[in-house]
Chain A
Amino acid sequence: MTESAGPPTMTERADTPLPQGLEVARRELAEHDHLPIVFEIGDLSAYYGDFRAVREVTLDVRQHEITALIGPSGCGKTTVLRCLNRMNDLIPGARTEGTLNYHGVPLYGSGIDPVEVRRRIGMVFQKPNPFPKSVYDNVAYGPRLFGIKKRAQLDEVVETSLHKAALWDEVKDRMKDSAMGLSGGQQQRLCIARAIATDPEVVLMDEPCSALDPIATARIEDLMQEIKEEFTIVIVTHNMQQAARVSDATAFFSTEVNPESDRRTGRLVEFDRTETIFSNPSDERTENYITGRFG
């Protein structure tokens, strides 16, 4: 890059290897952190048909940590998240390249059943999407699929999950009421309860607070801190303050435009401990983004 005559163009930058700072940060990360790795992502690219949505993603997700994926719109952070439980399989033409291991097992390996993956890696979506059923039936949905039929057992799972999702006190007298009658924040916590009712190891959250007001957002953030003792959380967020507040590690994504096809491809810029990303980022683009100069 330094050898080229003019300032580097976007394509040139796209073809250069990973920023050096990233490798250094990863080594430091490994030294400072003894938690087991849940997801090992190496040079991951995700495609929709011919379109490469995101490229060269390399990061580790560690157990009982909250890993935040941040970046401007279209940078591929949601795509990466949806690869982690193979939710992207639902989109025709979606595929991945590179390494994506879950406890050492390639998630996109042959013989991997996406249904089994999603039972261990739950998901909470951007827009609260409770089923048009009762509060109880929403939380009992997953356990019922797994064959829990006894009422007492279901009752227990539902109550525990709602406690964990900090929703029990608000809905304990409304278990038979429609989930559609809850407020937006309650609906999102219900969706969290639904996701953890199947006792997954990982909970993926795709901008879980973007449709909520600040008070509901704060409740969800508190909730994430509480449940991270039990679960590993990966969260996509537009909100940098949110990432700074809740996460232990942060991955910053950015977009680059391919001038030939005029298409945007997302790319991981920097992955590090959250303190480092927000206080002393090693990449200029990260600094520009978190200080609000870009994005």
Chain B
Amino acid sequence: MALTTIGSSSEAAVEASVAAALSGRRADVRGRAFELGLLASLLVCLILLGVLIASVLADGLPVYGDRGWEFLDGGLSRRPDEAGISQGLIGSMWIAVAVVVIAFPMGIGAAVYLEEYAPRNRITAFIELNIRNLAGVPSVVYGLLGLAIFVEAMSGFAGAEGVARRTLLAGGVTLAVLVLPIVIITTAEAIRAVPQSLREGAFGAGATRWEVIRTVVLPYAAPGIFTGALLSIARAVGEAAPLIVVGAITGFSSLGVGLNPGNVLDPSALPERFTAMPAVITAWAKLPNDEFNRINTAGAIIGMLVFVVLINAIAIVLRNHFEKKRTV
């Protein structure tokens, strides 16, 4: 109605003037520039990632082509054509186990207490802040903590001496402690995302606090908890600095060579000296000969990447499983 009062009386004229007014012709230069900038950032990231993967594959795939299983099955050898990553894979696997056994229950427990039981006051706020800060502490510092407590004190207490104290168990516990703050933070966030109305519904039906947590809070938070927890495994498996400080073997070793079920699942490796994938890669990359610092290193990187991708894949499958359960 207002448009007809602009001046023209005929319908055709109104239509023309409205059409002219509505067809915007201003070029949105800033908007376009912003969009292109965003696209450019994305492309740079993708290109960097692509170059990284391509160069690793180009250097490392021939190792698998030439030696295949032998490379996975071999150990820390002086000879590049005999060296393999079996000890590294086994060590990394046990580190993952240590994270699952130590960091998960402790971290999830601490988060549940903080979110569901602890009173909301300055002390808990202070504790939460510090846990966040702990998650940002450089990993080498955790390595020193591991060296002081788990290598020097605990392994010594257990009767081992000298370098024999630098055990797989000490390394695993160190990395479990390293990711503990991450597990706590992600779990706390997942619990915080549980709608208050669901908690009230459970309390209203006569549930105790523990029953509310068990039947409503944890099932609802499970996908988030799992995602965070399994990503923390990937983090622990990829850390090199704490391993070096704690004393993973980086030279040559025949300890526990061979990728077979008896070796992989044997817990008697725990009180022994150990190595793990990041330590193997670091050690090989420093060696002078090209077969080690380029070819075998790239091969080991591929092995570790596949290992980590497998863990992430398990994480995604588990998360989807729990998410499906949540909506049922």
Contacts and interface: CB of A to CB of B under 8 A. Distances in A.
B206 A118 contact: yes
Contacts of A152: none
Interface in A116-163: 116, 118-119, 122-125, 127, 129-134, 141-142, 145-146
Contact of B206 (A90, A129, A146): A146
B202 to A, nearest CB: 7
A129 B119 contact: no
B327 A178 contact: yes
A177 B327 CA distance: 9
Given A92-B120, A145-B211, A198 B326 contact: no
A195 B162 CA distance: 65
Given A129-B197, A145-B211, A195 B204 contact: yes
B328 A178 contact: yes
B320 to A, nearest CB: 15
Interface of A: 85, 87, 90, 92, 115-116, 118-119, 122-125, 127, 129-134, 141-142, 145-146, 177-178, 180, 191, 194-195, 198
Contact of A145 (B119, B195, B198, B206): B206
Contacts of B206: 115-116, 118-119, 122, 142, 145-146, 198
Interface in B190-230: 195, 197-208, 211, 215-216, 219-220
Most chain A CB neighbours (cut-off 10 Å) among B199, B201, B208? B201
Given A115-B206, A178-B327, 14 more contacts: A90-B199, A118-B205, A122-B204, A122-B205, A131-B202, A132-B198, A134-B328, A142-B205, A142-B206, A145-B205, A177-B328, A194-B201, A194-B205, A198-B206
Most chain A CB neighbours (cut-off 10 Å) among B198, B208, B219, B328? B328
21 contacts: A85-B204, A92-B119, A92-B120, A115-B207, A118-B203, A118-B205, A122-B205, A123-B204, A125-B200, A125-B201, A127-B197, A129-B198, A131-B216, A132-B326, A141-B202, A141-B215, A145-B205, A145-B207, A145-B215, A191-B201, A195-B204
A130 B216 CA distance: 11
A31 to B, nearest CB: 35
A129 B201 contact: yes
Contacts, number: 70
Nearest to A181: B327
B124 to A, nearest CB: 12
Contacts of B202: 131, 141
A118 B202 CA distance: 10
Nearest to B195: A129
Contacts of A198: 205-206
Contacts of A191: 201
Closest 7 A/B residue pairs (Cβ): A119-B206, A123-B204, A129-B197, A142-B205, A129-B201, A118-B206, A132-B326
A125 B220 contact: no
Contacts of A131: 198, 201-202, 215-216
Tell me the dominant secondary structure on chain A's binding face.
mixed
Contacts of B201: 125, 129-131, 191, 194
Contact of A141 (B200, B205, B208): B205
A127 B198 CA distance: 10
A261 B328 CA distance: 48
Nearest to B207: A145
Contacts of B119: 92
A180 B200 contact: no
Nearest to A194: B205
A87 B195 CA distance: 16
Contacts of A92: 119-120
Interface in B242-298: none
Contacts of A115: 206-208
Contacts of B197: 125, 127, 129
A45 B204 CA distance: 22
A4 to B, nearest CB: 44
A276 B202 CA distance: 37
Contact of B327 (A122, A127, A132): A132
Contacts of A178: 327-328
B211 A90 contact: no
Interface string B100-128: 00000000000000000001100000000
B195 to A, nearest CB: 7
A118 B209 CA distance: 12
A293 to B, nearest CB: 34
A40 to B, nearest CB: 22
Contacts of A180: 327
